[in-house]
Every structure is written in structure tokens, then in C-alpha cells.
Structure 1
């Protein structure tokens, strides 16, 4: 199995256009489509040990108990038809719209001083898929898989990374995850620091409210029993507008395109849960774009009260790395390029993609001293030149043409059959 897995990863590296098994076999010596199809789609190898080992390797390569971060995000992968496991019309942030797609939830380890890479993955299954036994059986979904929200899948991955001994300073997540109090409570309950983006409509108390049971206004009627706050909550957008003097302009870090500079502000506030009850004493952090002052993002953070504004700003800007890691995995290893419909195939492809990206990162970092500006793309291009390549013979060319003709014939026949049945 390991030889075919290595061939699959070599195919991901050496192929840059239309990554699929057909193209892999044209690039990788001694490979064939049937064996590659088997290793990724049908072979029952357990990918969990590979993820555990990958996380141990990432800990050795990037681990930092202060600046290291686990960054949680999701990515939509467009699909046609209704048979690919988990596919449905659903909102995808990557696509910016509702579309027919699969949703993968991903965890990235980021060290701003060294780099970032994907370290875990989960496939989100809509309820319609979980409840449809016929589709489950056809896609090979294990019997113990139940419905889980994206946030629950993310928490599962965070717990596994923590249990595997991966050291990090905090967890970063966007507003879809950050606005869910149970997830913030779960992280805090494990002693983990979080930087959780929130929507502008999230309500807060500007100070710790005093909770009192109000007096009964009339002699008749029930006596109030629930304590109420002595102040009204307000949205984070309103609160920030009311405190314009707090903004400070900070240079967060150097980037490939220049300096990352923005306006930041931070306040200690109390978050609000249901029925206007105070929740927790937190930092509210706001970031304002220099070019568009109306473009403001907001986040909750449970860092210590003595955390500096610079530290909070750097933590808030860590989310860049998950976008970078996902884009690299798509462009350099074909994370979103696969022709696999089943549960096992999706997870095997994603696991091999994560391993490929770690290998590219290791090569990039090993060459940093000689080429300080080297990127993951550069590392892949180096391997593309030095990896063994398959020599295409006349027999191979004839076989390729015959397969193309057969695929063309099958497609036409399928079209005719659909037309006759309608």
C-alpha cells in the first residue's frame, strides 16, 4: 500500500493541470490507474495513525507554545450531481454563495515565524445524508457516524491535536465558530486561549452588570424571581462606535507584499448569553482597515488581562494562515481535485494531500538558509524537476488514445440512454 500511496503523492506534485488518476499515471513511473484507484478508494488502510504521526512531525517542525496557533476553518469543494458523499446545495464561504458542494472542515497549525500547514480534516455531512440509509450504504459511511455540526467537528479536531501533545498558544476561528458560546466555553474549560471572531450584531455588556431581582410593580401578579442586569446590553458595533479614541495604528508583521498595518482597539467587556445574562469577562478586539474605515472586524479573546494590544492584534491576524494553507493545498497538491464519491476515498485523498503539503513545507524550510524567499510553490517546482518521470512509449500512447475513445463512447451512450428514458 505504501508504494501506491507514494505514487499518488508524487502524482499530486508532478501534475499541475487537471489532477486525476489518469494524469498521475502519465507522470509517475511504474504506476497504473487501477492500483492508484484501489489505494485511495477501496483499500481499508486506517488514515488516523497517519494524522497522528503528521501532527507529531508538525510539532517538531513548527511547534511554539506562545506563537503557535491552531486555526479552524472550512472550505467548500464544488461537485456536480448528487452522489459524492456529503454533497448538497449549501453555503460555501470559499465560493461565496450557495452551491452544490462538499464542505470540508480543516485544522491548520500556524507559526507566523516559520509557516503553516494543514494538520486534520473532517467531512461535514448534512442531516439529509446522515438520515438516508441507502445513500450511506452506497457511499460507505461507517455506521457509527452521526450528525455533527461544523463546530462539533472542529472541536473534535482541536481536542485530538491537544491530546497528541501538539503545543500551541491559542486557537483562532472565524465568526461561524466564534459566535457559538458552547465552543468558547469548551475551549476555556480545557484551559485553552481562543481568538474567536464574532459578527457585529453580537451583544455585550460594557462593564460587569449588577444582577438584581426587580421589585414587583403591582400588588397583583407573580413576584419576579429572575435576577436582571442593571444595564442594557449593546452590540459590539455600537460599542466600538461609541469609543473612537481607543484606536491605535500598529504594524503587525512583514508580509510578502509589504507591511501589514491596520488600526486596532481592545476593551475588557462582558459577553452576553440568553435572556441578557452575563457570560464571561473577555477582551473585545476590533480591527479597522486603513483603506476602508467602515470595514471593521470583531473578536472575543479570553487572554489574560495584562495582554498587550500588539499581542492581541497579532493573534487576531493569525487567520491569514488558514487561508494561505488551504490555497496552497489546492494549487500545489490538488486538495479540491479528485474524482472520488465515497467516504473512504474522500478521507484517504485528504490525508495524502496533508502529507504531501507537509513534505513540501519540510523541503521549503530545509532550503531557507540558501534561498530565504523560497515558497511552497518553489519547493513543488523543484521536486517536479528532480522526481523520476515516466517515459511514454508508443504502446502507452496507443493505450491512452484507446481509453479516451472508450470514455468518449461511454459518455455519448450515457447521453443517449438518458434521452431515451426521458
Structure 2
């Protein structure tokens, strides 16, 4: 079976406010917001099981300025601050790579897939990935480049801009395209199946054109 690194947020339900990082935030086990801690984790996974290799506690934004909370749980001023979950995830992946743990592909949900800078950081490291994205994520044909308007001689030159607006991923799918059903594992409520289509030659709207 193929091995992969999956990125995930592991919630720990909590009552009260005296545990580091506890806040009302999305709890994956409940499928809604609840009082909990969340750890960013990097597990090794195969089709039937996974095992966490490393994880790091996520500090919600309200903890970045809650000095009373920080002192109570001994999180020193300036020692740890709030950052998006992609930053600790990338740090954890770097640490696993330093230990010689390399895998064919990194898998993550839309919480990471919506961050283009995160994709680019993985590509800079030469890592392959599969990211879930929102269907309304906007994109462009990969070969499209911004055009430079002619300079009229007055004021600063106009910045390059695209002639056509970006479109949502769903709008880029040709009508009549056939979606293929794919089953990838056995879940707690039966086989996990969905419909997929491959979009080739597109890139996120805020990613630079390939050179």
C-alpha cells in the first residue's frame, strides 16, 4: 500500500479556559464549533490506518493578546504567538524530512488547500501533494500572463493586469465533462466514494505564471 503524510487538525474537547490554546473553534470530531484545543498533526497514513508522527498545539488568535491566560498556563510573552495552521504544518514536515522520513505524496484538506503560499512552499521543497480545494476557488489557464498597458506618458506606469477575469474551478469545467467515481478507503460508515474530474493546465489566480 502507498504511504503518505496527511496534514490534519486533531481536536481535544475541553471545558473551561485554563488549558493552553483552548478556545471556541472548529472541532472536527463534532463537525461544528466547540470549546477545544487543536493540534496540527503530521501522520503517516496508508489506506487502512494512520499514525501521528509529530504534532504541535495550535494557538488561536485570542491567545496572542490574552496575557492573563498566557501567564496562567506559562506561555511566555513573545515566546509563542498566533500563526495560521500552515506555518506549524510546514515546520513539522521540515522536521520529519530532516529525520529522513520522506513519502511519495502529502495529503491535506481545504484548510491547507486554500493557501496558495503553502502549495508553493511544498513545491520549492520538491514535494508532491494532493490538496482539497473549495469548488469556488478561482483560477486561470496556466499559460495566461498579465499584459502591460501602453504607457501614456503621464503619471506612473499602469501595473500589468489580466485581460480576462479569473473563473471558479466549477466554471472552468467544460459542460458535458464526465466525472469519474473513485473509492479510496473503507470508512466508519462504509466505503468512501466521490466523483472526480481532472482539470489540466490551470493554476490559482494569485500564483505567478510558470517560467
User: Do the two structures share a fold, i.e. TM-score over 0.5?
Assistant: yes
8 Å CA contact retained: 1:68, 1:167: no
Using the alignment, how far apart are the partners of 1:254 and 1:132 within structure 2? 42
Query: What is the TM-score of this pair, normalised by structure 1?
Result: 0.44
Q: Is there any run of 5+ residues in structure 1 with no aligned partner, and where?
A: 1-63, 282-422
Structure 2 SS opposite 1:198: coil
Q: Is there any run of 5+ residues in structure 2 with no aligned partner, and where?
A: none
Select the structure with the greater relative contact order (CA < 8 A; seq sep ≥ 6).
1
1:126: how far off? Answer: 1.9
| Corresponding residue for residue 248 of structure 1 | 180
Q: Which has the higher strand share?
A: 2
1:235: how far off? Answer: 0.6
| Corresponding residue for residue 68 of structure 2 | 134
| Corresponding residue for residue 226 of structure 1 | 159
Q: How many aligned residue pairs are there?
A: 207
Whether 1:184 aligns to 2:119 is yes
Alignment match of 1:196 (pick from 115, 126, 131): 131
Query: What is the TM-score of this pair, normalised by structure 2?
Result: 0.83
Alignment match of 2:141 (pick from 206, 209, 223): 206
What does 1:11-410 align with in structure 2 at a 5 Å threshold?
67-112=2-47, 115-141=49-75, 144-215=79-150, 222=155, 224-240=157-173, 242-250=174-182, 252-253=183-184, 255=186, 261-268=193-200, 269-273=202-206, 278-279=207-208
Sort the Cα spacing of 1:78 and 1:253 in 2 relative to 1 into closer, same or farther, 3 A. closer
Structure 1 SS opposite 2:139: strand
Any idea what the Cα deviations from partners look like across 1:136-160, whole Å, max 9, x if unmatched?
Answer: 2321335632333222111111111
Q: Larger radius of gyration, structure 1 or 2? A: 1
Q: What is the alpha-carbon root mean square deviation over aligned residues? A: 2.7
Sort the Cα spacing of 1:100 and 1:76 in 2 relative to 1 into closer, same or farther, 3 A. same
Any idea what the Cα deviations from partners look like across 1:204-260, whole Å, max 9, x if unmatched?
Answer: 1134114321246xx6854643222243310112223x343243344x456377765
Using the alignment, how far apart are the partners of 1:130 and 1:91 within structure 2? 18
Structure 2 SS opposite 1:279: coil
